[in-house]
Amino acid sequence: MSFFKTLFSKPLSLTLSVTSANGFHLRPVAQFCTLAKSFPCSLTASLDDKTVDAKAVNALLSLSLEQGDSFRLSAKGNKADKALEALEACFTALMQNDKEMHSTEKTSHPYLGETIEAAIIFRGVSLAPVHHHTLQERQNKSELTFKEAVDKSMEELESLCLKHKDRENGAIYLAQKELLFSLGSTSATLSEFERKIQMESQKLIGTILDSKRSDYQDILQRTKSHLGFNTEVIFPDVPFILVSEHLLPSDVDTLILTKVAGVILQETALNSHTAILLRAAGICAVICDAVLTQNETIILDANAGVILQNPSQEDVEKALQRQTTEHVQQQLSANNRFQKAYTAGGKPIQVLANVSDLASAQSAKEQGAEGIGLLRSEFLFKSEKPSFLTQKEAYEAIFALFDEITVRTLDVGGDKALPYIALPHEANPFLGVRGIRLLLTHPAILEEQLHALFVAAKNKPIKIMFPMVSSVEEFVNMKRFTQEIAKKYALDISHLRFGIMIEVPSVLFLLEAFNEVVDFYSIGTNDLTQYLFAIERTHPLLKTDELSPVVYAAIEMIMQKASKPVSICGELAANKYALPTLLKLGITTLSVSPSSIAQTKEEIRHA
């Protein structure tokens, strides 16, 4: 009876609106489809008169959903209601977390010669001959079948995804893996696969997703390489500036091993995966469609966003001087990254790191972090719930790296969906069950996490902070909960410290009371700014200003009323324009991304 009920039941549906300025592009689509495939029901997405399979990456991409578009998500069959609930929360989170790529601000330049304007991908100055990107395909014998080649490519992308999972690179490889699965698993031969690649990528021409066509070519090239079709690129053995119309994301890995001095992409966008990987690799790069001749020496100034052809000797000397100055500054920051940061007045400032897993914690140590100011524990909570042992071992590995560590307990719920945390539909998930509020709905998950943290900490004075706290009562209840867990497992937690994230405005007016119960505070400026202005950070029309006097006034209030240690772990901590004001307000502990540590220390020394 249940079979026929499911078979003839009416589909459920809801409307989702794209709020990200980047549109609903490959990376978030891949994450969305990955979750969609975990449900047994059928799922479709509709825009105007077009309806596609919502579990297929290429099909969903073909809708070319831009900011402001709304599409209908329909589900029919077993667990249709659960699927829609989870996918709505997932989509909301993807829109919230998908940051708009802004053009990098250009500096002035001293050159006398005529310049060609270019959009900056990654800063730097280079002077070298032009080398055009040319490919030569050569076929060798391969014993693999087409299906085996697809499987091999999937394994490679999975490996790359795991290797770079804490970086944007990881999301790119996951997206390509899902795209390959969507097209490769439904093709019987290479010819059929190539036809589908051609057909699907053509659908993106002229849309907001045009730059993602390179990902289609990338998965095709990767698969063909396992069938003996090797693409050879010969690069000079002297410094060169690469000019390319079709540089693929996977080509960046090869480029890193060459003497490339800079890259000029002729057809792409700032948020293309190739551009993202060039930024991650730290390669001086711009976007410009200028006609450049092979072997001509040019100046590529990606700080000013300009290109100079036939530069005069005077301009060459100016470029070399800018290059030297930049190198000295970078080297100085790198050399001093392990040194304590003191302001010009001699005041010591502690610089910690925001990390998301063991790899980023190791990177933080190499970059000169004095500890971890924010360990986002969500990295363990993916599609499957982590076991107690998995959590304990992961925490132990990270705790072994530093003496000072602050862990944020699980910050999911509402806008951050997990398949094993069932929450009711919320009209406004940003104001719903998330962070510490999971104690009301899923105490068992928090108990297992806290138990793992207590055991992993051993005798280290680990700091544990709770997110989304809005009242003293919430913290007191959570602290009582931790004590009950310690008693249950006969653990001594007297050496641990417990604090809160200051991100809900109500806390600002309760600080005197919080001073009586907490051990420390950490200001999460990202969410605090969002809630101060009552504007979602990814809203398509309304924008928050993290440098607003309102934000500084809130921080000043905290510093005046808090009697316990205060740190900042939001993005504001690494903003060089905010740093002087933060230090003036009395902030002495900053927690930033690993890549920002050396530069932040240098900014402090000149503050």
For residues 37 and 163, membership in a common domain is answered with no
Strongest mean pLDDT among 16-25, 262-271, 398-407, 569-578? 398-407
For position 348, what pLDDT does the model report? 95
104 found inside a domain: no
Residue 428 has pLDDT above 60, yes or no: no
Count up the domains in the chain and report the number.
4
For residue range 359-390, what is the model confidence (pLDDT) as tens digits? 889 989 999 999 999 998 887 776 678 899 99
For residues 328 and 342, membership in a common domain is answered with no
| Element (DSSP H or E) covering residue 597 | helix 597-605
Strongest mean pLDDT among 91-100, 149-158, 410-419, 497-506? 497-506
102 found inside a domain: no
106 found inside a domain: no
CB count within 10 Å of CB 505 equals 13
Crossing angle of helices 168-184/213-225, nearest 10°?
Answer: 70
The whole-chain average pLDDT of the chain stands at 86
Split at pLDDT 50, 70, 90, the class of 451 is very high
Q: What is the extent of the structural domain holding 160?
A: 136-232
109 found inside a domain: no
Q: How far apart are the first and last CA of the chain?
A: 73
Higher-confidence residue of 466 and 102: namely: 466
Domain end (from 232, 249, 272):
232
For position 541, what pLDDT does the model report? 55
Mean pLDDT of 165-194: 82
Using CA atoms, how far apart are residues 359 and 167, in angstroms rounded to an integer?
A: 10
108 found inside a domain: no
Give, as one character, the DSSP assignment of residue 238: S
For position 565, what pLDDT does the model report? 96
77 found inside a domain: yes
For residues 360 and 320, membership in a common domain is answered with no
Percentage of the chain beyond pLDDT 90 is: 48
For residue range 262-297, what is the model confidence (pLDDT) as tens digits? 999 987 777 788 888 888 788 999 999 999 999 999
401 found inside a domain: yes
Mean pLDDT of 178-199: 90
Mean pLDDT of 258-263: 94
Give the pair of three-digit tokens for residue 335.
């050399």
Give the pair of three-digit tokens for residue 398.
């990270």
Higher-confidence residue of 220 and 208: namely: 220
Using CA atoms, how far apart are residues 367 and 363, in angstroms rounded to an integer?
A: 6
Give the pair of three-digit tokens for residue 396.
């132990």
pTM for the whole structure: 0.57
For position 210, what pLDDT does the model report? 78
For residues 383 and 421, membership in a common domain is answered with yes
For residues 249 and 360, membership in a common domain is answered with no
Residue 307 has pLDDT above 50, yes or no: yes
Sequence-separated (6 or more) residues with CB below 8 Å from residue 210: 204, 269
Q: Which amino acid is at 88?
A: E
The CATH number of whichever domain residue 61 belongs to comes to 3.30.1340.10
Residue 5 has pLDDT above 50, yes or no: no
- Give the chain's radius of gyration (CA, Å): 26
For residues 525 and 385, membership in a common domain is answered with yes
The CATH number of whichever domain residue 535 belongs to comes to 3.20.20.60
Mean pLDDT of 474-487: 94
For position 128, what pLDDT does the model report? 95
For residues 203 and 307, membership in a common domain is answered with no
CB count within 10 Å of CB 234 equals 9
Using CA atoms, how far apart are residues 595 and 355, in angstroms rounded to an integer?
A: 11
Total number of residues shown for the chain = 607
For residue range 316-360, what is the model confidence (pLDDT) as tens digits? 999 999 988 888 777 777 778 888 999 988 999 999 999 988 888
Residue 414 has pLDDT above 60, yes or no: no
For position 536, what pLDDT does the model report? 66
Are residues 520 and 497 in contact, defined by beta-carbon separation less than 8 angstroms?
Answer: yes
Residue 540 has pLDDT above 60, yes or no: no
For residues 434 and 508, membership in a common domain is answered with yes
Residue 3 has pLDDT above 70, yes or no: no
Split at pLDDT 50, 70, 90, the class of 89 is confident
Using CA atoms, how far apart are residues 125 and 546, in angstroms rounded to an integer?
A: 30
Give the three-class secondary structure for 438.
Answer: helix
DSSP per-residue letters across 498-551: EEEEE-SGGGGGSHHHHTTT-SEEEE-HHHHHHHHHT--TT-SS----TTSHHH
| Element (DSSP H or E) covering residue 449 | helix 443-457
For residues 417 and 469, membership in a common domain is answered with yes
Give the three-class secondary structure for 535.
Answer: coil
Domain end (from 274, 304, 333):
333
Residue 412 has pLDDT above 70, yes or no: no
For residues 380 and 328, membership in a common domain is answered with no
Are residues 478 and 513 in contact, defined by beta-carbon separation less than 8 angstroms?
Answer: no
Residue 261 has pLDDT above 90, yes or no: yes
For residues 349 and 484, membership in a common domain is answered with yes
Range from 12-26, 116-130, 417-431 carrying the lowest mean pLDDT? 417-431
CB neighbour class for 556 (10 Å; exposed up to 12, middle 13-18, buried from 19)? middle
Residue 478: closest CA among 519, 424, 528? 519
Higher-confidence residue of 429 and 495: namely: 495
Residue 209: closest CA among 365, 57, 340? 57
For residue range 501-532, what is the model confidence (pLDDT) as tens digits? 999 999 999 999 999 999 999 999 888 988 88
Are residues 37 and 181 in contact, defined by beta-carbon separation less than 8 angstroms?
Answer: no
Using CA atoms, how far apart are residues 538 and 544, in angstroms rounded to an integer?
A: 9
Contacts 24+ apart (CB under 8 A), 386-391: 388/448, 388/451, 388/452, 391/448, 391/449, 391/452, 391/453, 391/456
For residue range 144-179, what is the model confidence (pLDDT) as tens digits? 899 999 999 988 888 887 666 545 567 788 888 888
Are residues 116 and 309 in contact, defined by beta-carbon separation less than 8 angstroms?
Answer: yes
Domain end (from 232, 264, 291):
232
For position 530, what pLDDT does the model report? 83
68 found inside a domain: yes
For position 8, what pLDDT does the model report? 45
**How many Å separate Cα 365 from the centre of its chain?**
20
Give the pair of three-digit tokens for residue 493.
């937690």
For residue range 296-305, what is the model confidence (pLDDT) as tens digits? 999 999 999 9
CB count within 10 Å of CB 245 equals 12
For residues 82 and 184, membership in a common domain is answered with no
For position 332, what pLDDT does the model report? 73
The CATH number of whichever domain residue 318 belongs to comes to 3.50.30.10
